[in-house]
Amino acid sequence: MTEKEQLCYLINGVLNGSYDIKVFCTEFTRIYDLEIDYEQLSEQENSEFGELCEMAGRFSDDIEELKIPNMYFSENEIIERAKDVKRKLEFLF
């Protein structure tokens, strides 16, 4: 499975409940930041995956942290962004 396929697999998994949000965030960030060859991604794929990766890297389930504006992202925000990425890149899924 390519790294791009792994990212799609993770998105599908978190959306269907197969992956816990913390596992999703850790694995998605690891693959996108450390393993993927960005030249293998289209501009749109890079933009969509990159934004989701940034959000995943700033996930928090702490109520107090989530009160800090523009710092952390909740599970719901990440799930909604994952849905948006899947919709925009539907040709990959």
* φ, ψ (nearest 5 deg) of residue 41: -105, 145
Quick one: CA torsion of 10, 14, 19, 25, rounded to 10 degrees? Answer: 70
In angstroms, the CA 53 to CA 57 distance is: 6
Q: Across the 93 residues of the chain, what is the mean pLDDT of every consecutive 10-residue run?
A: 96 97 98 96 97 98 95 98 98 92
Quick one: CA torsion of 22, 23, 24, 25, rounded to 10 degrees? Answer: 50
pLDDT of residue 44: 97
In angstroms, the CA 2 to CA 37 distance is: 10
Question: Which amino acid type is present at position 75?
Answer: E
Question: Which amino acid type is present at position 42?
Answer: S
